[in-house]
A and B are shown apart, each in its own frame.
Chain A
Amino acid sequence: MAKRVLLAEDEPNIVESLTFLLERAGFDVAVETDGRKALDKALADTPDVLILDVMLPEIDGYEILRQLRADRRADRLPVLMLTAKGQREDRDTALECGADLFITKPFANSEIVAAVEKLSDGRPA
């Protein structure tokens, strides 16, 4: 069975490209465009990797991450954070909140695929 990625991102064109790429790389991709729903789905389904945009409607990416890390169901869920802000404090905040990896937009496609493969590696399929 393919490994499952939850993509929490509200930009439809980025969602379309990332879905295409991850599916090509053999992942099952589910998408949520709103922070609240992304949090609920991550807790309910525990995907193999969560790709989490920082700027999401309803609840932002940092808050989602804090809540995930405080919940036993998702405290070890591998999370890749995406943001358009490349400033040092954003990276620090993401890592403090418990992100495993952090990539800034605009990214190279290969960077995202490699990061997801790395994070999903070692998790039972």
Chain B
Amino acid sequence: MESSILGTRIRQRRREIGLTQAELARRIGISPSYLNLIEWNKRRIAGGLLRRTAEAVDLTVEELDDDTGRRLLDRLSEIAQLPELADVGIEEHRTNEFVGRFPGWAQGMAALAQSEREATVRAQIVADRLSNDPFLSETVHRMLTRIAAIRSAAEILSDYPEVPQARRQRFTDIVNEESRTLTGIAEALAAYLDKVEASDRKLTPVDEVEALFAERQNRFAELDAAAAPLASRLSSLHPGGRRDEARALAEAHLQEIVESLCRQPPIETAAARARARRRLMDYATGAVLMPLADFVSRAADLRYDIEALAEAFAAEVESVCLRLTALSPGKETPRFGYFRANAAGTIIEMLGLEGLTVPRYAAACPLWVLYRAQGSPEAVLPQRVLFPSGARFVFVARATGVGPSGFGRPRHYVTDMLVMREADATHTVYGPDPRALVEEVGPSCRLCPRRSCLHRVEDPFAE
């Protein structure tokens, strides 16, 4: 198959700017029928002719003939060959046309195929590990043996009170000795699982982007430095308008920094690159709207009140929450985490906090204010929570309307939630009254040991 979509790109661009084939042919000095062959990828185009064509359609040669398109074409050709799609009847001979005309859809399809492949690999690794990992199977064997010894000795101590003291002491010693050994085995297992998790962390595009943010502790100093001088160019007074201006400025001036961050490890796949680009552009927009130095001092003055900060910077609450996660934690500066969920309860954005366990690919505990906030839109709701691990946090959630509004139209909300440790919350307006109710919550039913919880919908994994 012809592995070029250059002709399709020329045809598409010519139509976009409203040129006829005859007119473009005239401008670049070739016959319309030859241009027609080029546009249908039946003749190659290069050198001076390519330069003239690019000029005639107001693009640079690089913009017209980018590698991305060719790589995309290769990837879609691979997808077309997948055995599981053999019966679908993919029009393989028209792939270049598809890529040329619908580059966004084509990118999306390639990204989906990639994440499907990665998910399959991940599932296989997990399945393999559970069934074949010699360390795990040996460890389980050793743990069961130790538990057998402890149980047997403990039952003897309880069932035979008449046994002479010296003999009883021997069984007590067995319980002690075996418990200590069991602890060692359990610790080794925990360390092993940690290591396994660390090595697998970047198996999906979401993981790669999370790894990038985690490595940088949610802070990109190079973006902050370049964004600060742009803030003075904002003119709109309305939060939505300012956000759009800030985004336009970020796209015009910070694109290169964003791109360079997207090309470095831990970002490795194209799908992760696209996701990282979106997330970093959000960061850059926030950095233009709320320049870091100014934001740090105003945030401390206003005791991290998200609404007051939104007003002070004429920004939206969501942007303020995200911006707070970029602060360097200090003695009086809390470390903030951030979650965003839709009405279906799906977590759509997450910048976690150390010590706060959350499910990565499922909904969290329904008792989180993250979900309750949808019942009181636009209100800021704090929640003081206690996790089964003993960790205490303060959650601050607010549901905001998204999408078009108007009489008779359905209203849709997403919830933004800021997260901080309870000890840190004392430096904020959200520091709980010591008499405030402490709500017992969990990470998610699967990861939660609170067996008697009325809201449990699934058994814990350990069952």
> Is B153 an interface residue when CB atoms closer than 8 A count as contact?
yes
Inter-subunit contact A109/B174 (CB<8 Å): no
- Complex Cα gap A20–B149 (Å): 13
Question: Is A107 a contact of B170 with CB atoms below 8 Å?
Answer: no
Contact call B152/A18, Cβ cutoff below 8 A: yes
Q: A105-B147, A106-B147 are in contact. Are A14 and B152 (CB under 8 A)?
A: yes
Q: Which residues of B contact A55 (CB under 8 A)?
A: 141
Contacts of B152 in A (CB 8 A): 14, 17-18, 21, 106-107, 109
> In the bound complex, do residue A84 and residue B149 qualify as a contact, i.e. CB atoms below 8 Å apart?
no
Chain B contributes a number of interface residues (CB within 8 A of A) equal to: 22
Tell me whether B151 and A106 are in contact (CB under 8 A): yes
Q: Which residues from 102 to 121 on chain A have a C-beta closer than 8 Å to any C-beta of chain B?
A: 104-109
A86 to B141, CA, bound (A): 10
Among residues 59 to 84 in chain A, which have CB atoms less than 8 Å away from a CB atom of chain B? Answer: 84
Please give the distance in Å from A62's CB to the nearest CB on chain B.
15
B156 beta carbon closer than 8 Å to chain A: yes
The answer to whether B155 and A109 touch across the interface, beta carbons within 8 angstroms, is yes
Given A24-B160, A55-B141, A108-B155, A14 and B148 contact (CB-CB distance below 8 Å): yes
Contacts A20-B156, A106-B151, A108-B155: A84 and B174 contacting too (C-beta < 8 A)?
A: no
Tell me the B341-370 residues at the A interface (CB within 8 Å): none
Whether B160 pairs with A14 at a CB distance below 8 angstroms is: no
B159 interface residue, CB < 8 Å from A?
yes
**What chain B residues lie within 8 Å of A104 (beta carbons)?**
144
B178 at the binding interface (Cβ < 8 Å): yes
Q: A13-B174, A16-B174 are in contact. Are A84 and B145 (CB under 8 A)?
A: yes
Give the distance in Å from the alpha carbon of A85 to the alpha carbon of B144 in the complex: 8
What residues on B are CB-neighbors of A108 within 8 Å? 151, 155
Give chain A residues whose Cβ lies under 8 Å from the Cβ of B147.
Answer: 105-106
The CA-CA distance from A105 to B146 in the complex, in Å, is 9
Query: Does A11 make an interface contact (CB < 8 A)?
Result: yes
Expressed in whole angstroms, the Cα–Cα distance for A120 and B167 within the complex equals 27
Please state if A109 and B156 are interface contacts (CB–CB under 8 Å): yes
Q: Is B311 an interface residue (CB 8 A)?
A: no
Name B's interface SS: helix
User: Which one of B141, B153, B159, B167 lies within 8 Å of A13 (CB-CB)?
Assistant: B153
In the complex, whether B66 has a CB less than 8 A from a CB of chain A is no
- Shortest Cβ distance from A85 into B: residue: B141
- B55 contacts A by Cβ under 8 Å: no
- Does B171 have its Cβ within 8 Å of any Cβ on chain A? yes
- Cβ of B148: which chain A residues have Cβ within 8 Å of it? 11, 14, 84, 105-107
C-alpha gap A85/B155 in the complex (Å): 22
| Minimum Cβ distance to chain A for residue B414 (Å) | 46
- Would you call B153 and A17 a contact (CB within 8 A)? yes
Instruction: Tell whether, in the assembled complex, residue A84 and residue B156 are in contact, meaning their CB atoms are under 8 Å apart.
Output: no
Interface residues of A in 7-41 (CB under 8 A from B): 11, 13-14, 16-18, 20-21, 24
Q: A106-B152, A107-B148, A109-B152 are in contact. List 16 more A-B contacts (CB 8 A).
A: A11-B149, A13-B174, A13-B178, A14-B145, A14-B149, A14-B152, A16-B153, A16-B174, A17-B171, A17-B174, A21-B152, A21-B156, A85-B141, A85-B144, A86-B144, A105-B144
Residues in A lying within 8 Å of B, measured CB to CB: 11, 13-14, 16-18, 20-21, 24, 55, 84-86, 104-109
* 25 residue pairs bridging A and B, Cβ less than 8 Å apart: A11-B145, A13-B178, A16-B170, A16-B174, A17-B152, A17-B153, A17-B171, A17-B174, A18-B152, A21-B152, A24-B160, A84-B144, A85-B141, A86-B144, A104-B144, A105-B144, A105-B145, A105-B147, A106-B144, A106-B147, A106-B148, A106-B150, A107-B151, A108-B155, A109-B152
